[in-house]
């Protein structure tokens, strides 16, 4: 190569811009690491979301045989912190029991109630966020097959009834069909679950110094309504459907009325003093008699009356229940025993439950310490306790299918924390770790490069 050619090549090379090999390689490595870190964080988030939202592989969303194995647990416990909601996956399926109260984890916010839901055949717990003092069995009711839960909707401008389907996880709101209503509550399900009695509270005068209650039957297949009663004042009244679903009985004040599904009033009569329509299970299994509860001193007993005239047909051969504020009849088991909810008085409640008192006051949250489900057997000397609840669990409802079957099971309520707690904990850790890694990305990249250089030098020194 001649000197002139060498000089020409050096001149041409000097005019070519230098390629920053090391800097470009370092930038490319940093981009690759950032992309890998972001992808890993996204994958972790997706895995966490899938674990909380999707059912485990190979596990059916709902056990198709849950209804056939439905049984009453012998005890319930408060839902764990972070329990799944009733609309979460995996779906719960039919429930055996719902309950509410003022125990820890049964309230939220300032005044909201947590409705606890227990699976039909196992101790799988779910929760629903309800309105203030959403009393199970009174204004939060479980359908006969345990599939649907109706409760007050959390809306003040458009009051309605919220219905949650435990099998599909879907919910809907049944709007009030009564002009001027300020509150709508569910009162009772028909035996086939296709109709719901709702109770509207409507101002009785422009000053809103008094209110009247309107009872209506709402069909679930189109929200068709039939008015049952629209001019009464007083406390919440129990609603009981006859076994064939063709008639229903309801109490307004001291009067019990029996009506057909088209709203036609079949009979109406006044109850004797210290007597109340027994509850949702008030009809006898053959539909020929109604059951009432009567308070005699400090005990409560069951009696039969004629649904056409209100004539007293005599006391039943079931044991009385003493030491309680009141009892509510859930229904009848196949062996003929009555299933009742017994409301235990709160320790600080006034000792006046042996005096005449409105049923709303007897069942009020502040006056009830806890509840039990009892079996009142024919000819038995004393009630048999079937279910116990913790302190401050003050209201409960049981599905008709569970009551009718008479089955019970040994329960083991869940403890510790629930899946939602772990989901949010893992998600927060992943997000915090990702944000910290992103903000320190340059330092991390330099540290990784330094490690790579040291490893390369170490390998070179050994060669």
The pLDDT tens digits of the residues spanning 281-310 come to: 999 999 999 999 999 988 999 999 999 999
pLDDT reading at 35 higher than 80: no
| Best-predicted range by mean pLDDT (6-15, 45-54, 210-219, 440-449) | 210-219
Task: Determine the pLDDT at residue 90.
Answer: 94
Residues 6+ apart with CB under 8 A from 14: none
Mind listing the pLDDT tens digit for each residue in 161-180? 999 999 999 999 998 888 88
User: Which range is most confident: 151-160, 198-207, 278-287?
Assistant: 278-287
In this predicted structure, the answer to whether residue 319 has a pLDDT above a threshold of 90 is yes
Residues 6+ apart with CB under 8 A from 325: 343, 344, 345, 349, 353, 362, 363, 367, 368
pLDDT at 206 exceeding the cut of 60: yes
What's the pLDDT score for residue 330? 98
Instruction: For residue range 435-463, list pLDDT tens digits in order.
Output: 877 788 777 777 777 788 788 777 765 54
Rounded CA-CA distance 256/238 in Å is: 10
The count of other CB atoms within 10 Å of the CB of residue 333 is 20
pLDDT digits (tens, 9 = 90+) for 74-85: 999 999 999 999
Q: What is the pLDDT of residue 13?
A: 56
Confidence (pLDDT) at 162: 95
- Read off the pLDDT of each residue in 200-223 and give the average, rounded to a whole number: 89
Q: Which of 32, 30, 41 is nearest to 435 (CA)?
A: 41
Predicted local distance difference test score (pLDDT) of residue 423: 67
Mean pLDDT over the full length of the chain: 85
DSSP-assigned letter for residue 68: T
Backbone φ/ψ region at 245: left (φ over 0), alpha (ψ -120 to 50), beta: left
pLDDT of residue 103: 92
Residue 146 has pLDDT above 60, yes or no: yes
How many CB atoms neighbour CB 146 within 10 A?
30
Given a cut of 70, whether residue 353 has pLDDT beyond it is yes
What residues contact residue 23 under an 8 Å CB cut-off, 6+ apart?
Answer: none
pLDDT, residue 136, reads 97
More confident residue, 237 or 31: 237
The fraction of the chain above a pLDDT of 70, given in percent, is 81
Residue 449: the pLDDT is 76
Nearest to 106 by CA among 385, 386, 390: 390
Residue 209 CB partners (closer than 8 Å, separation 6+): none
pTM attached to this predicted model: 0.82
Nearest to 142 by CA among 377, 385, 408, 341: 341
């Amino acid at each position: 190569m001649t000197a002139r050619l060498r000089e020409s090549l050096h001149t041409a090379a000097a005019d070519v811009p230098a390629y920053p090999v090391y800097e470009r390689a370092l930038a490319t490595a940093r981009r690759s690491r950032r992309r890998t870190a972001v992808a890993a964080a996204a994958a972790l988030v997706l895995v966490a979301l899938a674990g909380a939202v999707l059912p485990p592989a190979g596990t059916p969303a709902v056990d198709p045989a849950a209804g056939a194995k439905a049984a009453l647990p012998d005890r319930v416990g408060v839902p764990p912190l972070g329990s799944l909601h009733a609309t979460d996956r995996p779906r719960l399926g039919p429930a055996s029991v719902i309950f509410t109260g003022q125990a820890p984890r049964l309230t939220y916010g300032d005044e909201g109630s947590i409705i606890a839901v227990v699976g039909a055949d196992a101790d799988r717990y779910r929760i629903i966020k309800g309105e203030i003092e959403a009393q199970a069995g009174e204004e939060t009711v479980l359908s006969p097959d345990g599939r649907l839960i109706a409760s007050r909707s959390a809306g003040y401008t458009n009051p309605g009834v919220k219905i949650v389907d435990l099998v599909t996880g879907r919910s809907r709101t049944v709007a009030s069909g009564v002009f001027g209503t300020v509150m709508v509550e569910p009162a009772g399900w028909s035996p086939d679950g296709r109709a719901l009695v709702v109770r509207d509270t409507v101002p009785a005068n422009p000053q809103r110094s008094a209110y009247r209650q309107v009872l209506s039957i709402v069909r679930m297949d189109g929200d068709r309504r039939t008015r049952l009663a629209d001019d009464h004042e007083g406390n919440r009244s129990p609603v009981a459907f006859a076994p064939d679903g063709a008639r229903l009985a309801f109490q307004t004040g001291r009067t019990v009325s029996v009506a057909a599904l088209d709203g036609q009033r079949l009979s109406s009569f006044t109850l004797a003093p210290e007597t109340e329509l027994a509850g949702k299970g008030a009809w006898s299994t053959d539909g020929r008699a109604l059951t009432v509860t009567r308070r005699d001193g400090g005990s409560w007993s069951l009696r039969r009356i004629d649904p056409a005239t209100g004539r007293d047909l005599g006391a039943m051969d079931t044991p009385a229940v003493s030491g309680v504020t009141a009892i509510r009849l859930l229904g009848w088991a196949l062996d003929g025993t009555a299933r009742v909810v017994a409301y235990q008085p709160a320790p600080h409640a006034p000792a006046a439950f042996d005096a005449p008192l409105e049923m709303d006051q007897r069942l009020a949250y502040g006056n009830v310490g806890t509840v039990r489900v009892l079996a009142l057997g024919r000819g038995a000397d004393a009630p048999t306790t079937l279910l116990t609840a913790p302190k401050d669990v003050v209201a409960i409802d049981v599905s008709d299918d569970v009551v009718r079957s008479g089955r019970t099971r040994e329960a083991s309520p869940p403890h510790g924390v629930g899946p939602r707690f772990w989901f949010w904990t893992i998600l927060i850790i992943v997000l915090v770790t990702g944000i910290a890694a992103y903000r320190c990305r340059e330092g991390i990249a330099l540290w990784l490069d330094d490690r790579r250089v040291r490893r390369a030098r170490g390998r070179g020194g050994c060669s």
